Amino acid sequence: MSLKGKTLFITGGSRGIGLAIAVRAARDGANVAIAAKTADPHPKLPGTIYSAAEEIERAGGKALPILCDLRDEAQLAAAVEQTASTFGGIDILVNNASAISLTGTLATDMKKYDLMNGINARGTYMAGRHCIPHLKRASNPHILTLSPPLDMRTKWFAPHVAYSMAKYGMSLCTLGWAEEFRRDGIAVNSLWPRTAIATAAIKMVGGDAAMKASRTPEIMADAAHIMLCKPSREFSGNFCIDDIVLHEAGVRDFSSYAAVPGTPESQLAPDFFLPDDLPRVG
Protein backbone atom coordinates (compact mmCIF):
# COMPACT_ATOMS: atom_id res chain seq x y z
CA MET A 1 0.00 0.00 0.00
CA SER A 2 2.04 2.92 -1.27
CA LEU A 3 1.57 6.03 -3.38
CA LYS A 4 5.29 6.33 -4.10
CA GLY A 5 5.83 8.02 -7.45
CA LYS A 6 2.12 8.72 -7.93
CA THR A 7 0.98 12.22 -8.86
CA LEU A 8 -1.97 13.76 -7.02
CA PHE A 9 -3.86 16.86 -8.15
CA ILE A 10 -5.65 18.26 -5.09
CA THR A 11 -8.12 21.14 -5.28
CA GLY A 12 -7.90 23.38 -2.25
CA GLY A 13 -5.37 21.71 0.00
CA SER A 14 -3.61 24.69 1.53
CA ARG A 15 -5.05 23.65 4.89
CA GLY A 16 -7.33 21.15 6.64
CA ILE A 17 -8.32 17.81 5.17
CA GLY A 18 -6.81 18.46 1.75
CA LEU A 19 -3.43 19.26 3.27
CA ALA A 20 -3.59 16.19 5.52
CA ILE A 21 -4.27 13.96 2.49
CA ALA A 22 -1.36 15.62 0.66
CA VAL A 23 1.06 15.10 3.54
CA ARG A 24 0.01 11.47 3.98
CA ALA A 25 0.67 10.81 0.30
CA ALA A 26 3.98 12.68 0.53
CA ARG A 27 5.16 10.32 3.26
CA ASP A 28 5.05 7.60 0.59
CA GLY A 29 7.10 9.74 -1.79
CA ALA A 30 4.22 11.01 -3.94
CA ASN A 31 4.14 14.11 -6.16
CA VAL A 32 1.43 16.54 -5.05
CA ALA A 33 0.04 19.56 -6.87
CA ILE A 34 -1.87 21.92 -4.60
CA ALA A 35 -4.27 24.00 -6.72
CA ALA A 36 -5.74 26.67 -4.44
CA LYS A 37 -6.27 30.41 -4.33
CA THR A 38 -4.54 31.25 -1.03
CA ALA A 39 -1.13 32.66 -1.90
CA ASP A 40 -0.88 35.24 0.88
CA PRO A 41 -1.48 34.57 4.59
CA HIS A 42 -5.10 35.11 5.61
CA PRO A 43 -5.79 36.90 8.92
CA LYS A 44 -8.30 34.25 10.05
CA LEU A 45 -7.29 31.13 8.09
CA PRO A 46 -3.95 29.32 8.42
CA GLY A 47 -1.91 28.13 5.46
CA THR A 48 -1.08 29.07 1.89
CA ILE A 49 -0.18 27.02 -1.18
CA TYR A 50 3.47 27.72 -0.36
CA SER A 51 3.33 26.65 3.30
CA ALA A 52 1.47 23.52 2.15
CA ALA A 53 4.22 22.81 -0.37
CA GLU A 54 6.83 23.12 2.39
CA GLU A 55 4.96 20.56 4.52
CA ILE A 56 4.69 18.18 1.57
CA GLU A 57 8.43 18.44 0.88
CA ARG A 58 9.28 17.93 4.56
CA ALA A 59 7.14 14.80 4.57
CA GLY A 60 9.15 13.32 1.72
CA GLY A 61 7.13 14.20 -1.36
CA LYS A 62 7.54 16.57 -4.28
CA ALA A 63 5.26 19.59 -4.26
CA LEU A 64 3.88 21.89 -6.92
CA PRO A 65 1.99 24.90 -5.51
CA ILE A 66 -0.33 26.41 -8.12
CA LEU A 67 -2.33 29.59 -7.61
CA CYS A 68 -5.76 28.71 -9.00
CA ASP A 69 -9.33 29.88 -8.60
CA LEU A 70 -11.33 26.70 -9.13
CA ARG A 71 -14.20 28.70 -10.65
CA ASP A 72 -12.00 29.93 -13.50
CA GLU A 73 -11.81 27.25 -16.18
CA ALA A 74 -8.75 28.73 -17.89
CA GLN A 75 -6.83 28.75 -14.59
CA LEU A 76 -7.91 25.21 -13.75
CA ALA A 77 -7.05 23.86 -17.20
CA ALA A 78 -3.63 25.48 -16.99
CA ALA A 79 -3.06 24.04 -13.51
CA VAL A 80 -3.89 20.52 -14.70
CA GLU A 81 -1.56 20.83 -17.69
CA GLN A 82 1.22 22.26 -15.54
CA THR A 83 0.91 19.31 -13.18
CA ALA A 84 0.93 16.75 -15.98
CA SER A 85 3.93 18.33 -17.71
CA THR A 86 5.89 18.70 -14.45
CA PHE A 87 5.40 15.14 -13.21
CA GLY A 88 4.72 13.27 -16.46
CA GLY A 89 1.01 12.67 -15.90
CA ILE A 90 -1.71 12.60 -13.24
CA ASP A 91 -2.69 9.46 -11.32
CA ILE A 92 -5.12 10.81 -8.74
CA LEU A 93 -7.61 13.68 -8.54
CA VAL A 94 -8.77 14.71 -5.07
CA ASN A 95 -11.80 17.00 -5.14
CA ASN A 96 -11.30 18.66 -1.79
CA ALA A 97 -12.12 22.35 -2.35
CA SER A 98 -15.44 23.37 -0.86
CA ALA A 99 -17.36 26.43 0.32
CA ILE A 100 -19.96 26.40 3.08
CA SER A 101 -22.76 28.65 4.34
CA LEU A 102 -25.31 26.96 6.60
CA THR A 103 -28.04 29.48 5.89
CA GLY A 104 -31.64 29.27 4.82
CA THR A 105 -32.96 30.40 1.46
CA LEU A 106 -33.81 34.00 2.40
CA ALA A 107 -30.44 34.42 4.13
CA THR A 108 -28.47 32.99 1.20
CA ASP A 109 -28.06 35.58 -1.51
CA MET A 110 -27.07 34.63 -5.04
CA LYS A 111 -23.44 35.56 -4.43
CA LYS A 112 -23.22 32.89 -1.71
CA TYR A 113 -25.22 30.45 -3.82
CA ASP A 114 -22.89 30.95 -6.79
CA LEU A 115 -19.80 30.63 -4.59
CA MET A 116 -20.88 27.30 -3.10
CA ASN A 117 -22.19 25.77 -6.29
CA GLY A 118 -19.34 27.23 -8.34
CA ILE A 119 -16.65 25.68 -6.14
CA ASN A 120 -18.37 22.52 -4.92
CA ALA A 121 -20.50 21.13 -7.74
CA ARG A 122 -19.16 22.97 -10.80
CA GLY A 123 -15.55 22.90 -9.59
CA THR A 124 -15.66 19.15 -9.00
CA TYR A 125 -17.17 18.54 -12.42
CA MET A 126 -14.67 20.81 -14.14
CA ALA A 127 -11.65 19.32 -12.34
CA GLY A 128 -12.79 15.87 -13.39
CA ARG A 129 -13.38 16.92 -16.98
CA HIS A 130 -9.83 18.25 -17.30
CA CYS A 131 -8.07 15.51 -15.31
CA ILE A 132 -9.83 12.45 -16.74
CA PRO A 133 -7.93 12.46 -20.07
CA HIS A 134 -4.72 12.16 -18.03
CA LEU A 135 -6.21 9.60 -15.64
CA LYS A 136 -7.11 7.38 -18.59
CA ARG A 137 -3.38 6.96 -19.23
CA ALA A 138 -2.50 6.18 -15.60
CA SER A 139 -1.86 2.66 -14.29
CA ASN A 140 -4.14 2.82 -11.23
CA PRO A 141 -6.21 5.99 -11.59
CA HIS A 142 -8.48 7.33 -8.87
CA ILE A 143 -10.87 10.22 -8.35
CA LEU A 144 -11.65 10.85 -4.69
CA THR A 145 -14.29 13.45 -3.84
CA LEU A 146 -14.91 14.68 -0.31
CA SER A 147 -18.69 14.55 -0.43
CA PRO A 148 -21.48 12.76 1.41
CA PRO A 149 -23.57 9.67 0.71
CA LEU A 150 -26.63 10.57 -1.35
CA ASP A 151 -29.61 10.86 0.99
CA MET A 152 -32.73 12.70 -0.17
CA ARG A 153 -34.38 13.21 3.23
CA THR A 154 -35.76 16.71 3.69
CA LYS A 155 -33.86 17.25 6.95
CA TRP A 156 -30.63 17.58 4.99
CA PHE A 157 -32.07 20.22 2.66
CA ALA A 158 -34.54 22.42 4.55
CA PRO A 159 -32.04 24.22 6.84
CA HIS A 160 -29.48 25.04 4.09
CA VAL A 161 -30.77 24.05 0.68
CA ALA A 162 -28.07 25.90 -1.30
CA TYR A 163 -25.20 24.23 0.57
CA SER A 164 -26.86 20.80 0.35
CA MET A 165 -27.35 21.20 -3.38
CA ALA A 166 -23.68 22.09 -3.76
CA LYS A 167 -22.40 19.12 -1.73
CA TYR A 168 -24.76 16.61 -3.31
CA GLY A 169 -23.72 17.95 -6.70
CA MET A 170 -20.24 16.67 -5.87
CA SER A 171 -21.67 13.28 -4.91
CA LEU A 172 -23.63 13.08 -8.15
CA CYS A 173 -20.32 13.35 -10.01
CA THR A 174 -19.14 10.25 -8.14
CA LEU A 175 -22.36 8.40 -8.95
CA GLY A 176 -22.21 9.19 -12.66
CA TRP A 177 -18.48 9.00 -13.31
CA ALA A 178 -18.03 5.64 -11.59
CA GLU A 179 -20.19 4.07 -14.29
CA GLU A 180 -19.23 6.36 -17.17
CA PHE A 181 -15.51 5.61 -16.80
CA ARG A 182 -15.69 2.05 -15.47
CA ARG A 183 -14.37 0.64 -18.76
CA ASP A 184 -11.39 2.99 -18.51
CA GLY A 185 -10.50 1.54 -15.13
CA ILE A 186 -10.85 4.86 -13.30
CA ALA A 187 -11.98 4.40 -9.70
CA VAL A 188 -14.40 7.13 -8.62
CA ASN A 189 -15.36 7.26 -4.96
CA SER A 190 -16.51 9.67 -2.26
CA LEU A 191 -15.28 9.94 1.32
CA TRP A 192 -17.12 11.61 4.19
CA PRO A 193 -16.40 11.88 7.94
CA ARG A 194 -18.61 10.36 10.63
CA THR A 195 -17.80 13.26 12.96
CA ALA A 196 -16.97 16.91 12.66
CA ILE A 197 -13.35 17.42 11.61
CA ALA A 198 -11.18 20.04 13.32
CA THR A 199 -10.60 22.46 10.45
CA ALA A 200 -10.81 26.21 9.99
CA ALA A 201 -14.22 25.74 8.36
CA ILE A 202 -15.62 23.93 11.40
CA LYS A 203 -14.22 26.55 13.74
CA MET A 204 -15.86 29.26 11.61
CA VAL A 205 -19.22 27.46 11.70
CA GLY A 206 -19.28 26.08 15.26
CA GLY A 207 -16.54 27.84 17.21
CA ASP A 208 -14.34 26.25 19.88
CA ALA A 209 -17.11 23.95 21.07
CA ALA A 210 -17.33 22.29 17.66
CA MET A 211 -13.54 21.96 17.49
CA LYS A 212 -13.50 20.17 20.85
CA ALA A 213 -16.13 17.70 19.60
CA SER A 214 -14.17 16.89 16.44
CA ARG A 215 -11.61 14.45 15.14
CA THR A 216 -8.40 15.57 13.45
CA PRO A 217 -8.04 15.73 9.65
CA GLU A 218 -5.63 12.80 9.85
CA ILE A 219 -8.50 10.32 10.11
CA MET A 220 -9.69 11.43 6.68
CA ALA A 221 -6.14 11.35 5.33
CA ASP A 222 -5.54 7.80 6.55
CA ALA A 223 -8.87 6.63 5.13
CA ALA A 224 -8.16 8.36 1.81
CA HIS A 225 -4.75 6.68 1.63
CA ILE A 226 -6.34 3.24 2.00
CA MET A 227 -8.88 4.00 -0.72
CA LEU A 228 -6.33 5.44 -3.16
CA CYS A 229 -4.10 2.38 -2.84
CA LYS A 230 -6.89 -0.01 -3.84
CA PRO A 231 -6.97 -1.52 -7.36
CA SER A 232 -8.98 0.98 -9.37
CA ARG A 233 -10.87 -1.64 -11.38
CA GLU A 234 -12.07 -3.37 -8.22
CA PHE A 235 -13.14 -0.42 -6.06
CA SER A 236 -15.38 2.23 -7.61
CA GLY A 237 -18.74 3.88 -7.05
CA ASN A 238 -18.51 3.81 -3.26
CA PHE A 239 -19.64 6.41 -0.74
CA CYS A 240 -17.34 5.72 2.19
CA ILE A 241 -17.23 6.88 5.81
CA ASP A 242 -13.78 7.52 7.27
CA ASP A 243 -13.77 5.27 10.34
CA ILE A 244 -15.55 2.44 8.52
CA VAL A 245 -12.77 2.42 5.91
CA LEU A 246 -10.20 2.25 8.69
CA HIS A 247 -12.15 -0.41 10.61
CA GLU A 248 -12.29 -2.61 7.52
CA ALA A 249 -8.50 -2.19 7.27
CA GLY A 250 -8.05 -3.46 10.83
CA VAL A 251 -8.10 -0.30 12.96
CA ARG A 252 -9.99 -0.73 16.24
CA ASP A 253 -8.85 2.20 18.38
CA PHE A 254 -9.80 5.67 17.09
CA SER A 255 -8.89 7.62 20.21
CA SER A 256 -5.71 9.03 18.65
CA TYR A 257 -7.85 10.97 16.18
CA ALA A 258 -9.66 13.03 18.83
CA ALA A 259 -8.89 16.72 18.37
CA VAL A 260 -8.85 17.00 22.16
CA PRO A 261 -7.09 13.93 23.56
CA GLY A 262 -9.26 11.87 25.86
CA THR A 263 -12.58 12.99 24.41
CA PRO A 264 -15.01 10.02 24.58
CA GLU A 265 -16.51 8.83 21.29
CA SER A 266 -19.97 9.64 22.67
CA GLN A 267 -19.06 13.33 22.91
CA LEU A 268 -17.95 13.71 19.31
CA ALA A 269 -20.32 15.71 17.11
CA PRO A 270 -21.79 13.81 14.15
CA ASP A 271 -21.35 15.37 10.73
CA PHE A 272 -24.19 16.27 8.38
CA PHE A 273 -25.71 13.92 5.79
CA LEU A 274 -25.09 10.66 7.70
CA PRO A 275 -27.51 7.74 7.16
CA ASP A 276 -29.56 6.69 10.21
CA ASP A 277 -28.45 3.07 9.80
CA LEU A 278 -24.73 3.81 9.73
CA PRO A 279 -23.00 0.99 11.65
CA ARG A 280 -20.92 1.84 14.70
CA VAL A 281 -17.24 0.88 14.77
CA GLY A 282 -14.43 0.97 17.28
Q: Which amino acid is at 239?
A: F
CA dihedral 164, 167, 168, 172 (to 10 degrees): 160
Whether residue 201 has pLDDT greater than 80: no
Whether residue 44 has pLDDT greater than 80: no
- Vertex 83: Cα angle to 133 and 85 (nearest 5): 80
Whether residue 156 has pLDDT greater than 80: yes
**Residue 200, pLDDT score:** 80
Rounded CA-CA distance 163/182 in Å is 29
Which helix or strand (DSSP H or E) is residue 35 part of? Answer: strand 31-36
Whether residue 43 has pLDDT greater than 90: no
Whether 127 contacts 11, CB under 8 Å: yes
User: Measuring CA to CA, which residue among 126, 173, 122, 166 is closest to residue 145?
Assistant: 173
Confidence label for 209 from pLDDT (cuts 50, 70 and 90): confident
Would 278 be classed as within a structural domain?
Answer: no
In 154-217, the DSSP E strands lie at: 187-192
Whether 240 contacts 223, CB under 8 Å: yes
Domain holding 122, by residue range, is 7-267
Would 274 be classed as within a structural domain?
Answer: no
Whether residue 13 has pLDDT greater than 90: no
Active site residue 257: no
Catalytic residue among 50, 125, 163, 257: 163
Would 272 be classed as within a structural domain?
Answer: no
Domain of 237: which CATH number?
3.40.50.720
Would 120 be classed as within a structural domain?
Answer: yes
Rounded CA-CA distance 62/257 in Å is 26
Would 184 be classed as within a structural domain?
Answer: yes
Give tens-digit pLDDT for 232-259: 999 999 999 999 999 999 999 999 999 9
Confidence label for 146 from pLDDT (cuts 50, 70 and 90): very high
Sign of CA dihedral 1, 56, 49, 164: positive
Mean pLDDT of all residues in the chain? 95
Would 17 be classed as within a structural domain?
Answer: yes
- Which of 73-82, 108-117, 205-214, 268-277 has the lowest average pLDDT? 205-214
**Residue 164, pLDDT score:** 98
Would 251 be classed as within a structural domain?
Answer: yes
Would 2 be classed as within a structural domain?
Answer: no
Total number of domains in the chain: 1
